């Protein structure tokens, strides 16, 4: 009907609203494109109304749309909403429907954005007691150029920045608990992900490969597409195990991994590597050893989990949906070759001397020939 309001979802931007005008417009475009992709993917019928501060998704499938929008990075809050063409239409709607929202013994408050002068016009026909400090019910109204919006409840968005607004990175994903949370965390900051997985198949089962593929399906709830590089690492590990002292092997593995990752990052035009390292969690993640491993490459290495403990990481894994996949048993590419005793404080001079015994260039060249790429 002509006088009926539009139904849908009202979206408030996250921190992108604080950016300069040019950057804000670019980020807004990314967010709108991401919303369109995921809504179309789930076959939701919709149209968009967007302005400097808000996006309104007009749809009759509000519940389905809400579930999707909750996963899109760059959103501060979300609300099921009505959109009116003018204030008179809004007031008439509230007059007819407020009794369904506010019981006779309940207090209410009107929370107004922009034009506060119309509060009295809205409130005069609401036969309920006003309590501005601790109301039982709230009516939110926003008067904007592209419509007058009414909603009764806000829901927190996931926050962050729209994916694609902060460049492109290459994430090292093991199949364990930490690395997928690092991936999620850096994606939340607007970085588009390419994944890299080192494995030891066929020396061990392909369990880690299958786990990473399962994780990719979950991650596609946040990023529209994903490329994964599957890197066979067993030959390099055998070479290192037969030619080097046991306590330095993990550092040597990690340095070689980063060198390979740097090559792939260059190919993909990625601006940084991402790992799931958390400071002090294992011997290879002490400050001296982190310094040794990152000196093997020139590309920046980002560690989103560096200050989190294991319980915090597990809590995030459960919330996002990675945890049950992460704890499935696997023999990963490092576990098979990890010695009982590793150094927690390696010496870069010693590591470089040991590396002279290895033909790293040849090893890397052979590994790169055997890499398989899959797109999701």
Tell me the pLDDT tens digit for each residue of 3-14: 789 999 999 987
When pLDDT is averaged across residues 234-261 and rounded to a whole number, the result is 88
Tell me the average pLDDT of the chain: 90
What CATH class is the domain 168-375? alpha beta
User: Is 80 exceeded by the pLDDT of residue 333?
Assistant: no
Question: pLDDT band at 115, cuts 50/70/90?
Answer: low
Tell me the pLDDT tens digit for each residue of 210-237: 999 999 999 999 999 999 999 999 888 8
pLDDT attached to residue 51: 82
User: Is 80 exceeded by the pLDDT of residue 168?
Assistant: yes
User: Is 80 exceeded by the pLDDT of residue 339?
Assistant: no
- Of the candidates 184, 170, 186, the one whose C-alpha atom is nearest the C-alpha of residue 218 is 184
Of 92-96, 179-183, 191-195, 283-287, where does mean pLDDT reach its minimum? 283-287
Tell me the pLDDT tens digit for each residue of 181-214: 999 999 999 999 999 999 988 777 788 999 999 9
Question: Measured over all CA atoms, what is the biggest interatomic distance in the chain, rounded to whole angstroms?
Answer: 86
Of 20-29, 110-119, 271-280, where does mean pLDDT reach its minimum? 110-119
User: Is 70 exceeded by the pLDDT of residue 340?
Assistant: no
pLDDT attached to residue 159: 94
Please report, for the chain, the start and end positions of each structural domain, with discontinuous segments joined by +: 6-159, 168-375
The three state secondary structure string of the chain is CCCCCEEEEEEEECHHHHCCHHHHHHHHHHHHHHHHHHHHHCCCCCEEEECCCEEEEECCCHHHHHHHHCCCCCEEEEEEEEEECCHHHHHHHHHHHHHHHCCCCCEEEEEEECCHHHHHHHHCCCCCEECCCCCCEEEEEEEECCEEEEECCCEEEEECECCCCCCEEEEECCCCCHHHHHHHHHHHECCEEEEEEEECCCCCCCHHHHHHHHHHHHHCCCCCCCEEEEEECHHHHHHHHHHCCHHHHHHHHHHHHHHHHHHHHHHHCCCCEECCCCCCCCHHHCHHHHHHHHCCCCCCEECCCCCCCHHHHHHHHHHHCCHHHHCCCCCCCCHHHCCCCCCCCCCHHHHHHHHCCCCHHHHHHHHHHCCEEEEC
Q: How far is CA 332 from CA 38, 87, 209, 252, 361, in A?
A: 33, 62, 9, 16, 24
Determine contact, residues 309/280, Cβ cutoff 8 Å. no
When pLDDT is averaged across residues 165-183 and rounded to a whole number, the result is 95
Of 25-29, 112-116, 250-254, where does mean pLDDT reach its minimum? 112-116
Question: pLDDT band at 245, cuts 50/70/90?
Answer: confident
Pairwise CA distance, residues 108 & 133, whole Å: 10
User: Is 90 exceeded by the pLDDT of residue 313?
Assistant: yes
| Architecture of the CATH domain 6-159 | 2-Layer Sandwich (3.30)
Question: pLDDT band at 241, cuts 50/70/90?
Answer: confident
Q: Could you give the percent of the chain with pLDDT greater than 70?
A: 93
């Amino acid at each position: 009907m002509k006088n009926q309001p539009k139904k849908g979802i009202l979206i408030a931007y996250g921190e992108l609203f604080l950016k300069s005008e040019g950057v804000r417009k670019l980020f807004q475009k990314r967010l709108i494109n991401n919303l369109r992709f995921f809504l179309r993917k789930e076959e939701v019928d919709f149209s968009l109304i967007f302005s400097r501060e808000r996006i309104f998704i007009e749809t009759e499938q509000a519940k389905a749309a809400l579930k999707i929008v909750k996963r899109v990075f760059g959103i501060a809050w979300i609300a099921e909403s009505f959109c009116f063409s003018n204030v008179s239409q809004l007031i008439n709607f509230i007059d007819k429907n407020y009794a369904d929202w506010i019981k006779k013994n309940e207090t209410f408050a009107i929370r107004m954005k922009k034009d506060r002068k119309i509060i009295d016009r809205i409130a005069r026909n609401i036969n309920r007691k006003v309590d501005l400090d601790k109301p039982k019910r709230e009516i939110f109204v926003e008067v904007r150029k592209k419509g007058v919006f009414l909603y009764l409840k806000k829901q927190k968005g996931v926050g962050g920045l729209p994916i694609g607004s902060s460049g492109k990175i290459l994430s090292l994903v093991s199949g364990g608990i930490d690395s997928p949370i690092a991936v999620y965390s850096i994606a939340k900051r607007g970085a588009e992900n390419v994944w890299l997985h080192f494995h030891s198949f066929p020396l061990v089962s392909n369990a880690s490969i299958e786990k990473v593929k399962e994780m990719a399906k979950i991650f596609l709830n946040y990023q529209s597409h994903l490329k994964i590089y599957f890197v066979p690492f067993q030959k390099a590990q055998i070479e290192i195990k037969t030619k080097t002292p046991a306590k330095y092997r993990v550092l040597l593995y990690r340095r070689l991994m980063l060198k390979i990752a740097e090559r792939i990052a260059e190919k993909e035009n990625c601006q940084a590597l991402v790992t799931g390292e958390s400071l002090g969690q294992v011997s290879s993640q002490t400050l001296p050893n982190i310094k040794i491993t990152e000196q093997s490459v020139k590309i920046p290495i980002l560690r989103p989990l560096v200050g989190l403990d294991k319980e915090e990481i597990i809590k995030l894994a459960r919330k996002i949906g990675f945890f049950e996949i992460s704890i499935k048993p696997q023999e990963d590419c490092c576990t098979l070759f990890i010695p009982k005793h590793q150094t927690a404080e390696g010496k870069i001079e010693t590591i470089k001397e040991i590396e002279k015994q290895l033909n790293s260039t040849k090893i890397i060249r052979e590994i790169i020939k055997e890499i398989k790429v899959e797109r999701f």
